[in-house]
Amino acid sequence: PHQRKNKTDEKDARKILKELRSYVLCQDDQADFPSVWVPDHQTRADRELVRMRLRVGENAAKCKTQIHAWLKVHGVAKPKDMNNWTRAHWDWLVDVAKKCQPGIERSAQLALQSYLRQLRALEKEAGTLERQIEKLSQTPRYAKPVAALTDFIGVATLSAMVYLTEMGDLRRFANRRQIGAYLGLVPSQNESGETNDRK
């Protein structure tokens, strides 16, 4: 109880510093530090490419939301028999953006045209990145693991590459539980208070 009362971030930081000093300065072999895996340059570079594709997808989704918001604000309803983001839907949006609509200012239509240009550019970039990721997935480093992962239903190349580049060297995990813990799928509680407190 006394130790709990005196537990603060500053005191914990000083304790860690003391441990590090004894390890680095005195070469104390008794210090028990966990090993840290540092990804190699290739893994970090591959991660950048895959993360860029995910960011482009997120930006495209935001742009679509902005287009839907624009339509709602200006009271423009799409035809009921039309599905979103089909060729017909695109043609209709372009038509709304170009033709004079009653009650909609020209500057608002120019804003919609900008949204559509941005979305087209983002979708084109997503396609380019996907082709590059597809090429990367066929290199000797990734070919076998990607083939194994894409055998599972619902796992395509992009999902497999996200998993492989984010996880890095899978040999550092001894079993599935460690992978689950690393991904945050096996949460645990570590807090001061009652020892029998379970959530």
Residues 49, 40 contacting (CB under 8 angstroms): no
C-alpha 65: how far from its chain's center? 19
pLDDT at 132: 98
pLDDT at 110: 93
Residue 160 makes CB contacts below 8 A (sequence gap 6+) with 137, 145, 146, 149, 150
Q: How many CA atoms lie within 13 A of 7 on its CB side?
A: 8
If we measure between CA atoms, which residue out of 49, 60, 59 comes closest to residue 166?
A: 49
Q: How many CA atoms lie within 13 A of 133 on its CB side?
A: 25
**Which is it for the CA torsion 192, 196, 197, 199, positive or negative?**
positive
Residue 188 makes CB contacts below 8 A (sequence gap 6+) with 181
Predicted TM-score of the model (pTM)? 0.75
User: Going residue by residue through the chain (199 aa), what tens digit of pLDDT does each one get?
Assistant: 566 667 778 888 888 888 777 777 666 566 566 677 889 999 999 999 999 999 999 999 999 999 999 999 999 999 989 999 999 999 999 999 988 777 888 899 999 999 999 999 999 999 999 999 999 999 999 999 999 999 999 999 999 999 999 999 888 899 988 888 888 887 766 665 555 655 5
End-to-end Cα separation, the chain, in angstroms:
22
If we measure between CA atoms, which residue out of 31, 29, 27 comes closest to residue 15?
A: 31
